[in-house]
Structure 1
């Protein structure tokens, strides 16, 4: 009896144990069932060991594509390359496009496959976003040459480099060439020859040729997984409309549309003006025409009030201006797209963002008018990927013609068509059946309107909170007969005092000598005078404080004395008070023969030669600003001739002298 009573509490306990065992068995069976499904193992491992799962999250081969860009072309090429790689080699690999300033250079050795899209800017310099990476890479390579670096640092990295430049410039694709050389020097393995894209000819064709070679190399190599989801054949000429990357679009009306961004209000920026990511709304104080009424061209002087910002600058720096398209261009584009300009909408990336689209330019409600005015590059030549995306939405004869242009058989016709510099707006109007959805237009067709940089033409000594800009107004006729107005120059010229424009300052190495006792020669025709006006304002301010200044010689050039001798009163006043020791002005159209700054340099070789001298006591600085295609080359040849004659040396030896001076910072160029 007592034994029975004692055993009674055990019965419920045994029943509970049975229930627990049953539940655990079900859990195990469910776990095994889920684990048998594709991808389930990873989820289960996260449940069991989160850290271990994170380490094994994605072990597919990775392709990293880095770009250094100033105008957006290298970025566009990077995205195009990523898209084509994903199409050809499929989901067995990972593909990532990164702005070079977002990439940690010291971790480059951890990558396995890297492609570099490297634009050359100015006088053979890297773009702003590539400067830090470029500096690190070249230093690492230089350390190898000195015997103090690791020549095997990148031996596990396979790479390809495509440089972007213009053959009319002295340092064609210099950055791409140096990057390729440095990567090899550090042990990297080139998958393909270096590509050099010439923007003066057909950079799209150059890029296509390089990609063809790259794909042939990749097909033979084992650096990427050959996934069955890929399409290893020729890249599709025109994608199906439903496959073209597109933002999601929400059309807003009524109360939902209230407060939408529009051109009637200032651009939605609230930065301090110290970087491109933080522009400041500067107030325009002065807009003044610098050419006489007799001139058939225009150049305006603009003063930007940056009071209330954190902007500080030095003479020689650049100001970046975020422009807007003209109202005429915007109205035409809206009509071509088939939407009223006052349409209000909101963009967002598709759910899950399967095509890894960038976040849209505007996160909130915006009118089509504002989107086209502030963000869409309507007047630059249309790219081939954009044309391919548009073709997917063309009908009838438009579709037939575009397919022909984009086909291998239409290569010659496309080249001739492309060289006419047809802009996006022209293409939309030339092929009226094209009516892409707004999500496609802003996600796959439109290129972003780019910042325009100007050499600051003032000094902070007399103007600490005012930035002066000397802006040549662009007006030219394209091969199609279209009258092209420079987007930013017309944007600025038509602004009234009091209007506000987004700006920021980009610092430069183009500087006056630290030692005011160092003589300087400045060569700057046309708007190349801009930074030298800042230099001269600074010299005048220093002289007023009692600073003793070395000689300063200015070689300026324009077409006609009565038409475009800009800042004449200021220059001649500075020449009179000694701020400019000697002023030389070349007028190319006033006489029977053309007279340029390099001709004046040749005549004044005895004056310039001491500034271009090496050795004890040397310390002069030589500056050039302006056109890189012609003027800068002519000035360089004149400088070589002066050194040859003064030193009794060969051309090669004279060039070596100037190279050493440039490396030492005594010769500086701000050319475009």
Structure 2
């Protein structure tokens, strides 16, 4: 029944003052919503200023264009004649590429671009015109794997349509970094050269190869570089050496008014795919540290780090932890004294900028010289032959100049020098000119020459199922004797840094856990750094790994480890033990573990005994002791051979094989396993090679090894 106007007004009239207030509130809110952006909350036309880079505010009204991923376009835009691509895992290839680019400009006047492979789309290499040159400096690590920043390039090389790609305009040279202890020595270089040559590219000189196994990487690069200069630059291009001084690529200005940014660490040189497998770098608190052995030759530590402060940081059993070291204070202070920087100047803020637009450098700014030498540049790295020659131009005395030239210009003199003298750049300055300041040595030169600190990767020794907020690592602390003088010991940068952290932590704790130095070691290594009491933290990142337990907990596994290679297997065993504790069935586990002595060198000995007991026959540990006499003088591959029937039976029935440790050990164990399977199954050589290849492809055979 319809209402008239009077009845409708009475019906809608508020029954009380509260109803009236509610109606007014609703009306005002609706009006305000409809007028938003017109009468109020209008956009601030200057809001963009808060997000612009400072250099864009003065007269610039448009954003800088996004950097091109087309290398041909980049060479044209930057007016470069040569591109030097680098694929680097530990920073050596990157350092070589940067050095080569600088020398091309200084010595021959060729404008060169040092290019991270992950910054450009690999297929655009085919667009490089014949008027330009391309150089590739490529590292191979692990079992023939490319560096993280070269994964896109690697996939392009091996794509199915690869045969259709033609490179008739590409003129190139290539140098590879590898380790002959690995089965696929310099595989990345070999595959790249094969692909380029097959696509019609013109190789300018024979590809060079460095072998880290014999310590000749620097020497091999120097020899290959000299051939590049002589054959390509001098003979083919008709260029002559220019005798010009150092031309800085960075501007370094002291500005006390600036505030240095806080310590930051990033994983540089990673492609998009590699970045997706690595977490952000975080500062982690060290929860506890303990000694694992009392060996007279090597010291092993167990460190546990707290992830609770960083809930976004997660790991899975078998992953790696990338740890950033800190340089020893003694080396830092020696370098600062060498260039005449006192404490005040070393702590003065520096503004660092690239002098050439678009050039990237991996250093913080504003910062200080003290922060750079302590946290960002590897001042303990060996000094290259080229660097010694370059330093001679800044020598403060004629005697210093003559000494550096004698060492740097003669290959044999340099080899003898580095084999018998542990020389960092700070020590070299002091050795060449004792008690003399290198006043003419620019800080910019050091920042461009000293390689950046790279993280060291450790296999995680804990289980994410057991301790998701605590990550553990196993560290071997061992000095390396110089080849030409075994009395001179070189301390490991990261291992001794972690040792100093551990000892400082336990000096300042009230718990009963202590880190003790074995009595047989009567000389302590130099203190790597001054640890601030209560600040026992380190910068680290989690990197995902394919080194994983089978998805099915019932799948049997065979594990082979030597030394600190036991780390990921500790996590594997803890995870399986947890599954069994909650009533889940688990497959048989057998671990072959190699160490030096039965007493004092068997890592996690008591813990493993308890786990064997708890697993009630599911877990067996077979040990090999390489330094004990008699019949016990065996390596881990000998134990695998002794139990060959059982190992082959497990593998034939679907067990997974895991090997972790040094590459030489993994190679020997792999050879034994292949021989056992070939003999047991009466396979041909082709059959066993096909079996091992498919096992690795299907992740039934996994390795986590290092050189």
For residues 224-250 of structure 1, the C-alpha deviation after alignment (integer angstroms, 9 at most, x for no partner) is: xx6xxxx823576xx63xx24264333
SS of the aligned residue for 2:475 comes to strand
Give me the TM-score of the superposition, normalised by structure 2: 0.76
Deviation at 1:651, TM superposition (A): 5.0
Equivalent pair of 2:561/2:659 in contact (CA under 8 Å): yes
Structure 2 partner of 1:568: 605
Aligned residue-pair number: 581
Equivalent pair of 1:626/1:632 in contact (CA under 8 Å): yes
For residues 165-220 of structure 1, the C-alpha deviation after alignment (integer angstroms, 9 at most, x for no partner) is: 12233322122112222233344332222211123242233223323443455359
Give me the TM-score of the superposition, normalised by structure 1: 0.79
461-470 or 649-658, larger mean C-alpha shift: 649-658
Structure 1 partner of 2:319: 317
Structure 2 partner of 1:83: 102
Q: Structure 1 residues 212, 572: closer, same or farther in 2, change over 3 A?
A: same
Q: Structure 1 residues 623, 76: closer, same or farther in 2, change over 3 A?
A: same
Q: Structure 1 residues 317, 58: closer, same or farther in 2, change over 3 A?
A: closer
Instruction: Provide the aligned C-alpha RMSD in A.
Output: 3.0
Structure 1 partner of 2:9: none
452-461 or 191-200, larger mean C-alpha shift: 191-200
The reply to whether residue 515 of structure 1 matches residue 552 of structure 2 is yes
492-501 or 465-474, larger mean C-alpha shift: 492-501
Structure 2 partner of 1:453: 457
Q: Structure 1 residues 163, 244: closer, same or farther in 2, change over 3 A?
A: same
For residues 298-323 of structure 1, the C-alpha deviation after alignment (integer angstroms, 9 at most, x for no partner) is: 11111111123211211111111111
Structure 2 partner of 1:23: none
Equivalent pair of 1:244/1:440 in contact (CA under 8 Å): no
Equivalent pair of 2:106/2:247 in contact (CA under 8 Å): no
SS of the aligned residue for 1:315 comes to coil
Q: Structure 1 residues 418, 171: closer, same or farther in 2, change over 3 A?
A: farther
Correspondent of 1:597 among 636, 639, 644: 636
SS of the aligned residue for 1:561 comes to coil
The reply to whether residue 494 of structure 1 matches residue 532 of structure 2 is no
Equivalent pair of 1:260/1:344 in contact (CA under 8 Å): no
- Structure 2 runs not aligned, ≥5 long: 1-72, 268-274, 506-533
Q: Structure 1 residues 413, 548: closer, same or farther in 2, change over 3 A?
A: same
Equivalent pair of 1:289/1:300 in contact (CA under 8 Å): yes
State how far apart, in whole Å, the 1-side matches of 2:277 and 2:263 are. 16
Deviation at 1:459, TM superposition (A): 1.4
The reply to whether residue 249 of structure 1 matches residue 252 of structure 2 is yes
316-325 or 342-351, larger mean C-alpha shift: 342-351
Equivalent pair of 1:333/1:425 in contact (CA under 8 Å): yes
Structure 1 partner of 2:144: 124
Structure 2 partner of 1:668: 702
Q: Structure 1 residues 612, 419: closer, same or farther in 2, change over 3 A?
A: farther
Structure 1 partner of 2:623: 585
Equivalent pair of 2:287/2:304 in contact (CA under 8 Å): yes
Structure 1 partner of 2:655: 620
Correspondent of 2:469 among 465, 469, 480: 465
The reply to whether residue 647 of structure 1 matches residue 681 of structure 2 is yes
175-184 or 486-495, larger mean C-alpha shift: 175-184
Structure 2 partner of 1:233: 240
Structure 1 partner of 2:382: 381
Deviation at 1:67, TM superposition (A): 0.8
SS of the aligned residue for 2:218 comes to helix
> How do residues 16-415 of structure 1 correspond to structure 2 at under 5 angstroms?
58=77, 62-87=81-106, 90=109, 94-112=111-129, 113-138=133-158, 140=159, 143-144=160-161, 149-199=162-212, 200-219=214-233, 232-234=239-241, 240=245, 243-245=246-248, 247-252=250-255, 256=257, 260=260, 267-268=263-264, 278-292=280-294, 295-309=296-310, 310-342=312-344, 343-349=346-352, 352-353=355-356, 358-359=360-361, 361-366=363-368, 368-394=369-395, 395-407=397-409, 410-415=410-415
- Structure 1 runs not aligned, ≥5 long: 1-53
